[in-house]
Structures are given as structure tokens and as C-alpha cells.
Amino acid sequence: MARRETPAAGPGSRALIVDVVRSAVTISRGELADKTGLTQPSISIIVRDLIADGIIHEIGSTGSTSGRPRKLIAIDPANRFGVGFHLGPDTLTCVAIDLTGGVVGREVVPRVPHEIWPADRLARRFDDFTECLDLPRGRIEGLAVVAPAAVPGQPDTAHELGLLRAELTDRIGVPVLVENDAAAAALGEFWSRRVSRDQTFGCVYLSTGIGAGLVFGGALHRGAGFDAGELGHVSISYDGRPCPCGNLGCVEQYASTSATVRTAREDPGLRARLPLDGSEPSAYDAIARAAVNGDPAAYAVLDQAAVFLSMAATSMVNLLDLGRLVLTGPGVALAGSIYARRLRTHLGRTAHARHRHSLTVELSTQPRDAAGIGAAALVVQAAIAPGHTAGAAA
Ligand SMILES: [Zn+2]
């Protein structure tokens, strides 16, 4: 690779080095120079600063062809933490992670759907959560609060959170970010899976809505107004079901967990067999549990939803030429394999670039907590690899 020198102390070079060390897990300074195109002296200065700041540490040596041992460096996980709150359909999930994305604490508390918590209540929750985990305030890099993207006609939680941001920052004394849940989940998967910044990475977040998060060059793609990734409003039928967004045939009307529950409730056999009259999340989980336990009608309902989702996923993959896709969110917590299998098969037949490069489809390992983990990852990335995170939607 041609050497392209950039200023040693520039935040871009620092973020680049943090990103390469994170995705490599362990690496020597010489390998860093090869991978980044920066010169050895620049690498030495930036790595020295990152070690002094407690972001990177030396973890031993390895042999080299010259016989001189090379010191290996890695992200220092235990020194600092990010905290994320996810306002889900009926819960608030609180997550704390270390710098490598490892979860160090998690709590879920009930929440009335669409209820906006005032800043003082969010601040008390933050205090309780971090005190129970014994996380010193001075080592918490910030809090990110994430919520589903707004649906026309319903309260805009993300906007409301944006209005609370300044007061919440004052009350808890650390920076506060606000983001939509699908975008946050994608950044969380990017960070904790150690995805390389060279990959064109996407995430599908399946919940009561359907969102996508996109990470290009190590940074979340947000669009003109933090609204990128509205996969749920990709139409799969030009004269299909009307959607509150104004379009017809939006995939969200066919494949979201809400749509799946509606479909199952219309099936008299499923209605008689499964507990579908409770809350929507509990009804969805009952369908998913039955599907993986061999109930053919429940399986058919989920598999049909997965076919619809696959059609929209093809549009997204082709538009953006993605190389790696992760499925996450509560909709894939119990029966994710049904969705993953459909998407792999469908994209294997329809992805435009399938003959030129592979497209991997993976399942999140923590789909219910992915948005909370992602929120915390937003904080960590903003703190140790600045330049990627614009700040907040408000
Ligand atoms: Zn729509």
C-alpha cells in the first residue's frame, strides 16, 4: 500500500488506529503501519498517547522474522465504560459495556408504551444502575438513549429525548447522545463483532417496526436528518397495504412483529392453541416459541414474514452493495434461524453482486439487548474513536 502520511495528532489518524486495533484484537506497531499507511513515527506517537489515555495497553510480545520480539497492543477493556438505555415497546433496557463491547451490566425495567420519562427520572435510573454496578462516574464516558424511529401519527420519542438532552446532561454530569434503536444496534454489532472498517456493514432490526443500521468506513450512515435506514418503509407491493407513512405495501405492514401477531390472531387454529390475547410482545414470543417447537402453522406465519423481509433486504443489499448483514432485535430472539435461513437463501439467488463477492448473513448473539448494547457502543466510539459519531438526533 502506498504510504499516505496524515498528521500524527489528528483525530482521524487516532480514530483509524483505534478502529484497526479493535478489529484486529491484537496487533504490533509494524502491522499497524502496514494496515493504516501511516509512518512508524506517527504510529509510535499516537499509540503512546492512547496508552497514556488508558485506551490501549501492551499485552506481551511475539516473535518476528528479524528475531527481535514485537510488542503486541490491544484495546484496554477495563478502563472506561459506556452506558446505553433502550426505550423498547414496553421496557427500558439499561446496558453498560467496556471499551471492547463486553457487557458488564444489564437491567430491564418495565415501561408504559410510548411513555416519555422526564429527565429527572432518567437521571435517577442512570444513578441507580451505575451505582449498583459500582462504576465510578469518572470512568463513564457518557449515556446514549435510543428509541424506535418515529411513526407518523404516534409520539416521536427520539425527538422528545432530544429536547431532554441538555437537562439530562446537566443532571448526570456526562455527555448524552440520542439515536434511533436500529442504527445503534448496528453500531453495537459492528463494535462487538470487531467488524473491520473496510467492510460495508448492515444490520436489520426486527421489532414492532423494521429498521436498518448501516456502517460505512467505521461510521454510522445517518442521512440528511438522522433518518437513514427506514427499511420498514421499503415497499414490496405497489398496490399493497396502506402504511401510516403514506406509501403502499411497506414491508413493515407484512413482516414486523406487530404484523406477524395480527396475522396469527386471524388464524382460528393458532388463536385456539397459543396465548395470543396478551401483550403484543408476549403474543409474538408465543408464536416464535411454537414455530421452533414444530407447530406447522406458527412456522408458516413466521416463514412468510421472513420471505417478505427477504424481498426488502434484497433492495437494500443491492442499493448499497453490502458485504455483511446481521439480523437482530426482539423479533429474532427466539426464532431467528427461520429468518436467517430465508434471507440467506433469498439473497443467494437475488443479490446483484453475488457472483463478485460474498454476502454473509449472521444472527445477533444478543438480539433483545442489541439496541441497548449499541447505545453504549455509540458512547464508547464517540469517546475513543472520535470523528465517527456526529452527536445526536435532536
Ligand atoms: Zn411505510
Which CATH number goes with the domain that contains 326? 3.30.420.40
Share of the chain above pLDDT 90, in %: 69
What is the CA(233)–ligand 1 centre distance, in A?
4
How many angstroms separate the alpha carbon of residue 281 from the centre of ligand 1? 21
When pLDDT is averaged across residues 183-210 and rounded to a whole number, the result is 93
> What SS3 state is found at 204?
strand
Which residues, including other chains, have CB under 8 Å from residue 226's CB and lie 6 or more apart? 158, 179, 180, 183, 393
Residues 225 and 346 in one domain: yes
Q: Is residue 1 part of a domain?
A: no
Find the mean pLDDT for residues 92-100: 95
Q: How far is ligand 1, taken at its centre, from the CA of residue 242, in Å? A: 8
Q: Residue 240 in contact with residue 248, Cβ under 8 Å?
A: yes
pLDDT band at residue 389 under the 50/70/90 scheme: low
- 286 and 342 share a domain? yes
Q: What is the DSSP letter of 150?
A: P
pLDDT of residue 79: 80
Q: Do the domain assignments include residue 274?
A: yes
Ligand 1 center to 232 CA (angstroms):
6
How close is the Cα of 11 to the center of ligand 1, in Å? 39
Region of 215 (left: φ > 0; alpha: ψ -120 to 50; beta: rest) is beta
Residue 159 lies in a domain: yes
* pLDDT tens-place string over residues 1-42: 444 444 444 668 888 899 899 888 899 998 999 988 999 999
Of the listed ranges 29-33, 123-127, 383-387, the one predicted with least confidence: 383-387
Question: For residue 4, is it within any domain?
Answer: no
Residue 317 CA, ligand 1 centroid: distance in Å? 19
CA of 313 to the centre of ligand 1 (A): 15
pLDDT value at 183 more than 80? yes
pLDDT recorded at residue 297: 98
Is 273 a domain residue?
Answer: yes
Question: What pLDDT is stored for residue 6 in this prediction?
Answer: 47
Confidence label for 390 from pLDDT (cuts 50, 70 and 90) = low
Report the number of distinct structural domains present in the chain.
3
281/152 same-domain check: no
Interacting residues of 157 by C-beta distance below 8 A, sequence separation 6+:
87, 114, 116, 147, 148, 150
Indicate if the pLDDT at residue 284 is higher than 50.
yes
CA separation for the pair 319, 1 (Å, rounded): 29
User: Is 393 among the domain residues?
Assistant: no
Co-location of 87 and 167 in the same domain: yes
Together in a domain, 233 and 322: yes
- Contact between 232 and 213 under an 8 Å Cβ cutoff? The reply is no
> From the CA of 248, how far away is ligand 1's center (Å)?
7
What's the CA-to-centroid distance between 148 and ligand 1, angstroms?
A: 14
Judged against a pLDDT cut of 90, whether residue 300 lies above it is answered with yes
Q: Same structural domain for residues 44 and 18?
A: yes
Q: Please give the mean pLDDT across all residues of the chain.
A: 90
- Considering the domain boundaries, does residue 37 fall inside one? yes
Same domain assignment for residues 346 and 214? yes
Residue 180 and residue 264 in one domain? no
Taking alpha carbons only, the member of 385, 383, 390 closest to residue 13 is 385
Instruction: Answer yes or no: do 177 and 206 share one domain.
Output: no
Of the pLDDT bands very low, low, confident and very high (cuts 50, 70, 90), residue 145 is: very high
- Same domain for 149 and 54: no
Over the stretch 215-248, which tens digit does the pLDDT of each residue have?
A: 998 889 988 777 788 999 999 999 999 999 999 9
Strand order in the sheet with 81-87: 103-110, 91-98, 81-87, 140-147, 176-180
pLDDT tens for 34-89 read: 988 999 999 999 999 999 988 999 988 877 666 677 889 999 888 899 999 999 88
Instruction: Tell me what the mean pLDDT of segment 361-387 comes to.
Output: 92
Residue 8's pLDDT is: 46
Query: Separation of 237 CA from ligand 1 center, angstroms?
Result: 11
Q: What is the CATH number of the domain that holds 51?
A: 1.10.10.10
Buried b (16+ CB within 10 A) or exposed e, 109-138: eebeeeebbebeebbebbeebbeebebeee
Same domain, 150 and 203: no
Residue 177 placed within a domain: yes
In angstroms, what is the span from residue 108 Cα to ligand 1's centroid?
30
In the reported structure, the alpha carbon of residue 209 is separated from the centroid of ligand 1 by a whole-number distance in angstroms of: 10
Instruction: State the pLDDT at residue 274.
Output: 97
Q: Do 356 and 377 fall within a single domain?
A: no
Q: At what angle do helices 280-292 and 257-265 cross, to 10 degrees?
A: 80
Q: What is residue 393's predicted lDDT score, i.e. its pLDDT?
A: 39
Q: Which domain holds residue 50?
A: 11-75
Tell me the CA–centroid distance for residue 253 and ligand 1, in Å: 8
Q: What is the pLDDT of residue 11?
A: 66
Q: Give the distance (Å) from ligand 1 centre to CA of residue 247.
A: 5
CA of 165 to the centre of ligand 1 (A): 28
pTM equals 0.91
Mark the residues whose beta carbon lies below 5 A from ion ligand 1: 233, 243, 245, 247, 250
